[in-house]
Structure 1
Amino acid sequence: MLKLIALFPMRTKSFLFLFFILFTALVWPGHAQEHKRSLSHDDYDGWESVSQTTLSPDGKWVGIEVSLQDGDGRAQLIPTSKGMSGIKVPRLKRLNFSEDSHWAIGLITAESDSIRLMKLKGIDKSEFPMDSLFVMDLESKSIVKIPGVENFQLPDERKSWYAYEVRNDTTGSQKEEKNDNRDEEKTFTLHIERFGKKRAIVRENVSKYGFAPNGERLFFVQNFPGNDQAASQLRLLDLESEKEITVLDSLVQYRHMVFSEDAGRFAFLGSRQSAKDSVEFFDLFYQEGGQQLLRKELANKTISEHYPLRFSKDGQKLFFGWKEPLRSYVYASDTSILDEERVSVDIWGWQDAEIQPMQLKNLEDKKEESFVAVYHIAEDRVLSIGDPNTGEVHFNPDYTTDWAIALNDRPYRKNYSWNIQIGKDLSRVSVKTGQVDLLAREVVGSPRISPGGRYAFWYSNPDSTWMAYVLKTKEEIALTTGLEDIFYDDLHDSPSFPGSNGHAGWSADDRYFLVNGKYDIWKIDPKGEEAPVNLSNGHGDVNQVRYRLIDLDPDVHFVDLDQKLVFSGMDMNTMESGFFIADACGRQDPEVLVFGAAAFDGLKRAENGSNYLYQKSTFSHPPDVYLATGPFKNSRQLTHINPQQEDILWGSAELVSYRVHDGDMMDGLLFKPENFDPEKKYPMMVYFYERSSTTLNRYRAPVPSASIINIPFFVSNGYLVFVPDIQYKIGLPGPSAYDCVVPGVQAMIAKGFVDPANIGIQGQSWGGYQVAYIITRTNMFKAAGAGAPVANMTSAYGGIRWGSGMSRMFQYEQTQSRIGGTLWEKPMHYLENSPLFYADRIQTPTLIMHNDADGAVPWYQGIEFFMALKRNSVPSWLLVYNGEDHNLRERKNKKDLSIRLSQFFDHYLKGAPEPLWMKEGIPAIEKGKTLKYELSEE
């Protein structure tokens, strides 16, 4: 550069010097950071995430779908061989590959901006642009796009065929001509094609269709508008020969059409009544080869249209549902009573198994309650294998074994309002005879049947032990008794039985049971013939690395111990993580595939086993997709989502430790702004729920808030954010939070870079309660945000969780609220842990959000808290989003809350002007007319 300047006259040197300064600012990292900006609320919509990844069966192609929070995403088709170019397709979704890996298929959705513009113009939805089918030859890179497609399907296996729906332009006129006794189902033109073949099979006026799992056959239902004589036709098509048969043409409704796995057998439910009829009756139909069609009935019972049909994997049994005949009620059928004269009343009875709100919440499920029956095909015999007294029946995944299990909680259901760990009676059920044999009463756990159908197994919560029953002999087995490991959640700190660390499944033929200890994974012989084997060789316990088996083939219901096992692993001291490989012998430590200070997720393997996909992220780097080969001998990054982040001030995350009031050491997370200067004083936000330290390396995208502060937004805008872990003592949930949060904040202040005069605190739900309690004990926080807080445990105890219809008693006696007794057993615990009764001590300005359709915490709790603050003249605001639930669902409301949260805390912690909604409020007469985000001039 100096030589270059010497060649120019003096008058040009000043220009070149300026050019040099500008060039350096652009390319030199230290200077480039000066041109970065903070996150704004306008950044949310365009933020990207990987919504789906898939590998072609031969492992040579990767499909990746990238979505925007609000807007049109894209898909990428990337070859795994280096040097080959990929392709990006805007708005492509549901990307999949053919069986031979030669073709890619998906759906290109209509442009969201076009849809929005048409909505603004009031254009009818039927006129909106439709999607297009995308089919690509991966070898030649040629692409076919078929417009006007509403949907498409592929077989579950052998994806050589595909079918797609093209909307009929005459749909509206067809409805007018339909027979009144027939369902007004939307019809379309069905196109069925084979990858690589130009000829299509086309059928008009189709309303339903579906492939056999192996892709050899297809069913479809055709409706014929204007034909008063013929009902809909159900037809079967052999895809290879194109031979087509009519199964039935005399029914109005067809439901739950299903093929056996080999496509040789077919079953469905059919009815001659329309869905509009007050009473519908369905029959079970079974077809096997040619025109043979059998109609099956169940004596003294009604076939249930709500229970899906299912063939056993071997095709020998067909499972279906039945229901009790409809009861006739004199009052309901009395036509002499006017509607305005009919009584509408809910009667709550002490003897009811479920309280009325829960009954009403589950009303539709109750109307559709079904019990299982089986058709033994070879014997042409129908058998009921469950009834209301049997309980819920469970089968092995393939439905092939001679035994099922039944779980019946009816004898204990009355206690569910205050005891969510009620027991269940466990029985075995013979699929051959229907005989029910009781195995155990009041089992506290969730028994399931092993994949091979030999065992009922469960984690017994009271015993902290994995148990099993041999279904054939009714022998009870304690699977984990005597093993030197911890099989329960040892961080459990609520007044209930602790849960387990989970299990990893069963090996083929139920030979071994794989179960998680605190750190390691065990292989257990349920027969007791072999000693238990630690599959991770004890490495987890010695090094405090938590290993868990990864299921790389979700279509297979057992763990293949003849193959290498792939584990996830996390160092519980540093929160580093990665993937490991091990064998079924447990004689060696797991071998590292990839490991580091990052979060590794979404591991997938190609069917040929040669290539792997995974996502890697940190707080500072979004979860991009990586391809590993070999396995993991070579790894390369395939995506670079959110390139705009490079121009935005971000930050870093670190694990911090501190001593709490009882002397124990606790962990927390501290997020620091980019270009952090330890000599400066920063405002700090404190957010928490229970424990979050294991999420150290998790990427947190900037998203509009459903209820809590968005950490990257606040960090990008110059805040520190501290997230402490909480450990609880039974009966003292409020003091426990105080004893962990306040010492943690003091430890952060002691580091020297926190401005002690400008610290805020925010939480939602359980976090909102803890915030409300903490500010009754300290004034160290300059502003507080409490979302959906329980302020008064005495009134909340008798309240309802309207989302489920459950009483809230269980929450205080057994779970999160951690009182550990009834209101009458521990009245002072309820009072002393309730912020409402100490609201006169609060001086912290507080922003509350509590919505009027909250299904978890009763809305009146937020009102009680707000009115207490208002009565004591504490600056406070209550945000109530109409029709919204516990956490916001509508994106427009999330954006609104995000703005108000940042304005609230910016005002109190950074001295920003007060927004008008805080200063003036928004009177009811102005509701919906103004948002008052504007900042006051004073």
Structure 2
Amino acid sequence: MQRLFLLLGGWLMAAMALAQSPVPVSQKRSLNAADYDRWQNVSSEKHAPNGQWLAYQIDPQEGDGQLLVSAVGTASPRYRLARGYDARFSADSRFLVAKLKAPLADTRKAKLKKKKADELPKDSLAVVELASGKITRFANVKSYVLGKDGGSWVALLQERKPDAPAPRPTAAAKDATNPVTISPASTTATAKKAAPKKPKADDMVLFNMADGAQQRVRYVSSVVMSDNGQRVAFARESIIDSLKSGDVLLPGVFTFRTDTRQLTVIDTSGLHKVYKGLAVDKAGDQLAWMASADSAGAEQKVFRLYYKNLGNKPVVGQAKKGSKIKSGQTKLPFIQTTSGAGTIVADTTTAALPKGWSVNEYAPVRFANDGQRLYFATSPVPPRIKKDTLTPDDEKVKVDVWTWNDSRIQPMQQKRLKDEKERGFTTVCDLTTGAVVPLASRDVPTVAIDYKTNQRYWLGVSDVPYQVSSSWDPGHLDLYLIDSQTGQKTRIAHDLIASEAKLSPGGKYAYWFDERDTLWRAWSVADGKRIDLTRGLPDKFFDEEHDTPSLPGSYGAAGWTTNDRYIWVYDRYDLWQIDPTGREKPRNLTNSWGRTNKVRLRRVALERTDGPTDERAIKPTDDLYLTGFWEGDKHTGILRKRPGMTSATQINPGGELQILLNSGHRYSNMTKAKNGSTITYHRGNFREPNNLFQTDTTFSTQQQLTQINPQQDSLRWGSVELVKWTGTNGIELEGLLYKPEGFDRNDRPPGTKYPMLTYFYERSAETLPDYKAPTPSRSTINIPYCVSNGYVVFVPDIVYTTGNPGQNAYDCIVPGVLSLLNRGYIDRDRLGIQGQSWGGYQTAYIITRTNLFRAAMAGAPVANMTSAYGGIRWGTGLVRQFQYEKTQSRIGGTLWEKPMNYLENSPLFYANRVETPLLMMHNDADGSVPWYQGIEMYSALRRLQKPVWMLVYNGEDHNLTQRHNAKDLSIRMYQFFDHYLKNAPAPSWMTEGRSAVEKDRGELKY
């Protein structure tokens, strides 16, 4: 079996050799629909903590992928796990744990046999000992946990098949190979037998990767492990009675010590029927859980939150010597009720909570990293309403009541119904004093908690006063400082339009970007005053290219340095260091090198909070790595600035930056090992797939680890160039021109003219170095497919003003197309245009203004701005007014303030001018643009006897989500363009349609 997983890397070497042997253009073929599925992608790199191993996935678009594991410094992978994903290294870097997907062919076969979801093939789990290559495999695995910072144990939940017999438990399980002792009370208990019930939970397997010891525990509903790997806690959620074994298992909470291998009963009191919300602190010394006396099937359950000290921590609720209750703090004893299981932290009797509130079952329970606080959520207990069993369902009144003063309109309420029913309000228990303090409230519902710190104040955010006006003027909010000791809320900013409102890592400052004043601001917690951080600085910190009627946002912040000493923020090009105390003048850390050279510099957080390490503050003494984007030629690169370096010692005279890499590629996804110098990154461009490269912190050498998609070398591909022209409005514009392979060859026949497709959205020139994989269309043309099949593809940038978005698109796109026609290689009679959503709207508008294009495809176009203005974005429930007044649609006023702008920019009112055959896609479950917009345009053109087709994929959203539908759209869209731009025969669906009867029979009609 191991040979299925431990394949040594000859395949990779062969693929790289193939890629290095160029295939003559004459021997290459064009891309076709059969090529999509096998196209590969590299993702999910994971570094072993010691930096000696690297794992990454190579997956096709459809089919079975693989997880590769390499020893750092070697070119070939050491191990390959078929269908591997969700990989993690053990803290000591000795083991790799990964899930293995079920083979796709087996899953499809089961679906064809109409198997139910719980009968489909399941994932499995592989544990690899990296030094020896030994693999231990577990079948039917749903999830697993292992210690983030230590330990050699993994706990996995193994799905039990519904009809599988349960193994008979023993009172004690102990043998030489599996020295795990379980007391009888941990598996069985005395209770009255009830009617048999089907078990709803899974089996948990505890596996010691170091010595192979295993222990199985039946019917586990949830499991957690401490970061140090020393404590496993798990729960049984539902009562399980009258099993074939004759034993009775009660729900409960249990722990397992990995060092002593002792399993302990924490709570099987019989008072509770449902357990959830398990949490264990980093050290494994403290445990918390939720329990309810209501049955698992109860429509409404009321939970209590319990706590138990498992280690040598101070007694919970015992205040530190000399400590006093703070002014305003809730005066309540921590211990309200104590059972043998643990201490009740909160329930319906907790005085600190509003009357009728209790613990929220849907929000997670979390310990702070230092173990001194326990965070959870509370909410009102739903009223126990007796179901109406006397009225037939067809006689029950179903009505929505829309009122003028609803804070949120009914569709938005319906979209948020589940969230609102499950909404919890953040609450904290101080485990040193026993105080329970509500932090969030109905007025301030959002509180940002950083569990890594134990600071006193948190930042609260509220949009409650602005919920009504958010339908047309979104983004307003208030900011609060919330005292975690007393719950007191102090408003520090009112009616802001702000972005990136956060707390500094040390909690000394709240900070945000004020879009009204285009300033970075902070609030000093100690001084209780506001600080204008960027006032008076010469450069702009707002988006200089912003072109909607809303206020511009910022370029972002890199973060704070240690001890909240400085904040680092970006202008368009450079990185600034600002002292919030004002004692030091602001400093441009990159010495304006970015602005001078028109290179946008951004810090790379190699030590990321969501990555292998937990960096929260920037260490200014460390090397500073930056990505660069050269605006002129659209190249990207990686740069480094070392502390204390002077311009006299630099590679680049006059600056403090070293350019480590710079080319016509996109460099992305830089990651670093936690305790090693290994760095990986992706590199690719239009001609080169995004491959994985490896280096170290010196960047002295780079090693390419992957060579995906070698089949590309045998296919006609193409090239891309940056083009420039002047718009009708006099603005200098940029765009991308994708050309078929052989376009620039000297042997191209003189006078050769190509058909051209124009695709656009807003601005795309900056994507020049991006790789674009062949893939089925979710809504737009696939550029590699089109270029491979002989089309030139033009992607122009569009610059907007307020009030005339349709005219703006025309002024930028049409002159760009005409400038290319002047070059002599584009066929003027073979021009197509395509766009989706906002691009679909612009496509529909442009064909009312010009007959330049022979065929057009518009996906989900807004045809009538007057009816769309008051429509609903069904995906969110938001009314669309804000979109026209403030954001993308760019009218900049209400329908009654600017009626002519709405009319003049609506294609529907000029449908009689359209001479271009139009294909639309507008799906009946579109959550962004109302479906009736497509219907309005289709109905108008149909009545005018203009050639129009509309594809409606049933149950699909704005962009297609189901791959088989995307493949179908790709076939039809290219058939449409090929017919008009290449004189290909019209497919039957264009000439005959597809009747409802044919659809019912499953006839595709291509």
Q: Same fold (TM over 0.5)?
A: yes
User: What displacement does 1:311 show?
Assistant: 1.6
User: What displacement does 1:578 show?
Assistant: 1.2
Q: Which residue of 2 aligns with 1:756?
A: 828
Residue type matched to 2:371 in 1? G
Residue from 246, 249, 264 that aligns with 2:265? 246
Cα deviations across residues 49-89 of structure 1 (Å, max 9, x unaligned)? Answer: 11311121222222111111110011211222247762333
Gaps of 5+ in 2: 1-17, 168-190, 312-339, 609-613, 647-654
In 1: Cα distance, 2:263 partner to 2:525 partner:
44
2:616 counterpart of 1:557: yes
User: What displacement does 1:28 show?
Assistant: 12
Change (3 A) 1:910 1:527: same
Q: Which residue of 2 aligns with 1:212?
A: 226
Contact 2:775 2:782 in 1 (8 A): yes
In 2: Cα distance, 1:333 partner to 1:229 partner:
32
User: What displacement does 1:783 show?
Assistant: 0.1
Contact 1:790 1:861 in 2 (8 A): yes
Residue type matched to 1:801 in 2? R
In 2: Cα distance, 1:318 partner to 1:229 partner:
33
Correspondence 1:670-749 to 2 at 5 A: 670-677=737-744, 679=750, 680-749=752-821
- Larger deviation: 604-613 or 543-552? 604-613
Residue from 636, 644, 656 that aligns with 1:577? 636
Q: Which residue of 2 aligns with 1:514?
A: 568
Q: Percent identity?
A: 41
In 1: Cα distance, 2:911 partner to 2:741 partner:
38
User: What displacement does 1:463 show?
Assistant: 0.7
In 1: Cα distance, 2:416 partner to 2:140 partner:
39
In 2: Cα distance, 1:325 partner to 1:471 partner:
35
Residue from 497, 506, 511 that aligns with 1:457? 511
Residue type matched to 1:431 in 2? S
In 2: Cα distance, 1:137 partner to 1:149 partner:
19
In 2: Cα distance, 1:378 partner to 1:89 partner:
47
Change (3 A) 1:28 1:581: closer
In 1: Cα distance, 2:847 partner to 2:641 partner:
50
Residue type matched to 2:779 in 1? S
- Larger deviation: 335-344 or 916-925? 335-344
Change (3 A) 1:440 1:181: farther
* Two-structure CA RMSD over aligned residues (Å): 2.4
Residue type matched to 1:785 in 2? M
Residue from 520, 541, 548 that aligns with 1:466? 520
User: What displacement does 1:557 show?
Assistant: 1.8
Q: Which residue of 1 aligns with 2:276?
A: 255
Secondary structure of 2:467's aligned partner: helix
Q: Which residue of 2 aligns with 1:8?
A: none
Correspondence 1:440-451 to 2 at 5 A: 440-446=493-499, 447-451=501-505
Change (3 A) 1:647 1:230: closer
User: What displacement does 1:276 show?
Assistant: 1.5
Contact 1:533 1:586 in 2 (8 A): no
2:108 counterpart of 1:59: no
User: What displacement does 1:33 show?
Assistant: 2.1
User: What displacement does 1:896 show?
Assistant: 0.3
Gaps of 5+ in 1: 1-25
Contact 1:520 1:541 in 2 (8 A): yes
User: What displacement does 1:473 show?
Assistant: 2.5
Residue from 291, 294, 302 that aligns with 1:270? 291
Residue type matched to 1:746 in 2? L
Change (3 A) 1:902 1:79: same
Q: Which residue of 2 aligns with 1:876?
A: 948
Change (3 A) 1:257 1:745: same
User: What displacement does 1:303 show?
Assistant: 1.5
- Larger deviation: 756-765 or 925-934? 925-934
Contact 1:405 1:448 in 2 (8 A): yes
Contact 1:182 1:252 in 2 (8 A): no
Residue from 374, 381, 391 that aligns with 1:325? 381
2:675 counterpart of 1:608: yes
Change (3 A) 1:689 1:181: farther
Correspondence 1:375-386 to 2 at 5 A: 375-386=429-440
In 2: Cα distance, 1:56 partner to 1:760 partner:
50
Residue from 878, 883, 887 that aligns with 1:806? 878
User: What displacement does 1:323 show?
Assistant: 1.1
Cα deviations across residues 306-364 of structure 1 (Å, max 9, x unaligned)? Answer: 221122222111122111233577xx767665544432111111111111111111111
In 2: Cα distance, 1:698 partner to 1:135 partner:
36
- Larger deviation: 724-733 or 395-404? 395-404
User: What displacement does 1:512 show?
Assistant: 1.2
Residue from 446, 456, 476 that aligns with 1:402? 456
In 1: Cα distance, 2:827 partner to 2:667 partner:
35
2:702 counterpart of 1:653: no
Contact 1:915 1:932 in 2 (8 A): no
User: What displacement does 1:694 show?
Assistant: 0.7
- Larger deviation: 739-748 or 243-252? 243-252
In 1: Cα distance, 2:484 partner to 2:297 partner:
36
Contact 2:778 2:961 in 1 (8 A): yes
Q: Which residue of 2 aligns with 1:89?
A: 81
Q: Which residue of 2 aligns with 1:202?
A: 216
In 2: Cα distance, 1:519 partner to 1:182 partner:
68
Residue type matched to 1:427 in 2? Y
Correspondence 1:106-117 to 2 at 5 A: 106-117=98-109
TM-score between both structures, scaled by the size of structure 1 = 0.93
Secondary structure of 1:445's aligned partner: strand
Change (3 A) 1:930 1:913: farther
User: What displacement does 1:27 show?
Assistant: 12
In 2: Cα distance, 1:531 partner to 1:775 partner:
55
Correspondence 1:369-448 to 2 at 5 A: 369-421=423-475, 423-446=476-499, 447-448=501-502
Contact 2:23 2:714 in 1 (8 A): no
Residue from 729, 732, 745 that aligns with 1:665? 732
- Larger deviation: 776-785 or 745-754? 745-754
Residue from 365, 371, 379 that aligns with 1:315? 371
In 1: Cα distance, 2:198 partner to 2:829 partner:
66
Q: Which residue of 2 aligns with 1:6?
A: none
Q: Which residue of 2 aligns with 1:233?
A: 252
Change (3 A) 1:182 1:253: farther
Contact 1:182 1:231 in 2 (8 A): no
User: What displacement does 1:218 show?
Assistant: 0.4
Residue type matched to 1:233 in 2? G
Q: Which residue of 2 aligns with 1:366?
A: 420
Secondary structure of 1:634's aligned partner: coil
- Larger deviation: 740-749 or 525-534? 525-534
In 1: Cα distance, 2:696 partner to 2:645 partner:
24
Residue from 530, 553, 567 that aligns with 2:584? 530
Change (3 A) 1:169 1:429: closer
Residue type matched to 1:98 in 2? S
User: What displacement does 1:262 show?
Assistant: 2.0
In 2: Cα distance, 1:149 partner to 1:120 partner:
23
In 2: Cα distance, 1:442 partner to 1:388 partner:
18
Change (3 A) 1:164 1:929: same
Residue from 320, 344, 350 that aligns with 1:295? 344
Contact 1:786 1:846 in 2 (8 A): yes
Cα deviations across residues 591-638 of structure 1 (Å, max 9, x unaligned)? Answer: 122111000111111123411111100101110101113521111111
Residue from 149, 155, 163 that aligns with 1:163? 155
In 2: Cα distance, 1:452 partner to 1:271 partner:
37
Change (3 A) 1:763 1:596: same
Contact 2:69 2:77 in 1 (8 A): no
What is the total number of aligned residue pairs between the two structures?
Answer: 905
Contact 1:95 1:106 in 2 (8 A): yes
In 1: Cα distance, 2:845 partner to 2:590 partner:
44
Secondary structure of 1:548's aligned partner: strand
Q: Which residue of 2 aligns with 1:48?
A: 40
Residue type matched to 2:638 in 1? F
